[in-house]
Amino acid sequence: MITELRTLIAVARFGAFAAAGDRIGLTQAAVSGHIKRLEEELGFALFDRTGRSATLNAAGLRTLERARDLVARYEALKDPAELAAGHVRVGAIASVQSTILPRGVALFRRKHAAHRVTIESGVSLKLIDMTDGDELDIAIVLRPSYGLPKSLNWRPLIREPYMLVAPRDAPGDDWAAVLAEHPFIRYERVSPGGRQVERFLRANRVAVRESIEADDVTAILAMVAEGSGVALVPSTEVCQPLSPSVRVVPLGDGTFHREIGYVTPGSGDPAVEHLGECLEKTAVA
C-alpha cells in the first residue's frame, strides 16, 4: 500500500485530488482509485466529501501522520552494503536522459565508482516536488516560471532556443503566417515548456489551428516530418540533426528560450555536489 500512502500524502500536500494528480503524474480518476483502495483496506473514510471538494477528517489526519512515518521508514530500507557505498537518487526529464545525464554520470563514477545511482523519469513539476519531498537527491528539470521552493537550490546547465518546425514542402518564411496556415501540433500546455509556447502565442496574438497535443519533443518532430502539421519546440540536443523531412522557419527577434538546470535540497552531500559539478562540466557535448 506504499503507493496509496504516497498518494494520500500528495493530496494532503496539494489540497485536491486533481492538483495532486498533476504533480505526481496521475489522472484524477487514478488518485480517487488509490484513496478508495486505501479506505477499503483501512475500513474507514479518510475524507469528508461535499460535492467536488474533499477534506481530511479526523481519522484522515491521524492516518496522514502515520503514512508519512511509514513512507519514510520504507525509504530507509536499504542494503547495508549500499549504505556504506553510497546511493544517489537522480531525477531527469526525457530530453536529457540520452545526453546530459549519461555524460555527467560517467564522469561522476570515475570518482564514485562504488556509488549506486538510480534514475527517476518524469516531468519537471513532479521531479521538483520529489526533490523537495526528499524522494530525490538531485533532479535535472526545466526551470519553472514560478519560484522554486525555498528549500531547493537551482543551478543552470543550458539554454535552448525554441524553433518553428514545418514539413519540408510547407511554403513560406514568415513564421506567423506559417503558424496560422497549418495545423498546429502543440507542446503539452501543462508543462513548463508548453506554457512558454502558450505565452509566446498570446504575446504575438497568433491564432493557431489546434490539431495535436503531445508532451514529447521527439514525437512532435516525427509528426511534423510525417506532414501532420507545424510546431514550436526547443532545439534540444537529443533531436539533432533534424530529419531531412523537416525544416526550420526562423523566429527572428521573437526567438525565446527554455532553461534546463538541476535542483538539489541543499543537504551538502559531497557526492550529490560532485554529481552536480559533473553535469555542469558535460552539459554541452
pLDDT tens profile 199-238: 999 999 999 999 999 988 999 999 999 999 999 999 999 8
pLDDT at residue 97 in the model = 92
Cβ-contact 136, 151 below 8 angstroms: no
Q: CA 246, CA 244: separation in Å to the nearest integer?
A: 5
Q: Is residue 70 located within the same domain as residue 132?
A: no
Report DSSP state, residue 230: B
| CA angle in degrees (0–180, nearest 5) for 101-261-12 | 100
pLDDT at residue 159 in the model = 94
Number of domains present in the structure of the chain: 3
Average pLDDT score over residue span 146-175? 92
Q: Is residue 174 located within the same domain as residue 235?
A: yes
- Here the cell at position 112 is 564514485
Q: Is residue 175 located within the same domain as residue 253?
A: yes
> What CATH number does residue 244 fall under?
3.40.190.10
Q: Is residue 93 located within the same domain as residue 168?
A: no
Q: Which of 45-49, 138-142, 175-179 has the lowest mean pLDDT?
A: 45-49
Average pLDDT score over residue span 22-42? 84
Q: Is residue 125 located within the same domain as residue 212?
A: no
Domain end call among 75, 103, 132: 75
Tell me the angle at which helices 17-24 and 124-132 cross, rounded to the nearest 10 degrees.
Answer: 100
pLDDT at residue 33 in the model = 87
Q: Is residue 272 located within the same domain as residue 147?
A: yes
Q: CA 176, CA 250: separation in Å to the nearest integer?
A: 10
Q: Is residue 183 located within the same domain as residue 66?
A: no
Place of cell 520504507: 74
> Domain range for residue 152?
80-158+259-281
Q: Of 69 and 198, which is predicted with more confidence?
A: 198
Nearest to 234 by CA among 246, 218, 223, 245: 218
> What CATH number does residue 23 fall under?
1.10.10.10
Q: Is residue 136 located within the same domain as residue 250?
A: no
Q: Is residue 128 located within the same domain as residue 264?
A: yes
Nearest to 93 by CA among 132, 161, 139: 139
Q: Is residue 7 located within the same domain as residue 45?
A: yes
Domain end call among 19, 49, 75: 75
Q: CA 140, CA 109: separation in Å to the nearest integer?
A: 18
Q: What is the CA radius of gyration of the chain?
A: 22
Contacts of 122 (CB under 8 A, 6+ apart): 25, 91, 93, 130
pLDDT at residue 83 in the model = 47
Q: Is residue 147 located within the same domain as residue 263?
A: yes
Q: Is residue 150 located within the same domain as residue 263?
A: yes
Nearest to 124 by CA among 260, 16, 18: 260
pLDDT-based confidence at residue 150 (cuts at 50, 70, 90):
confident
Domain end call among 75, 90, 113: 75
| CA angle in degrees (0–180, nearest 5) for 68-73-75 | 95
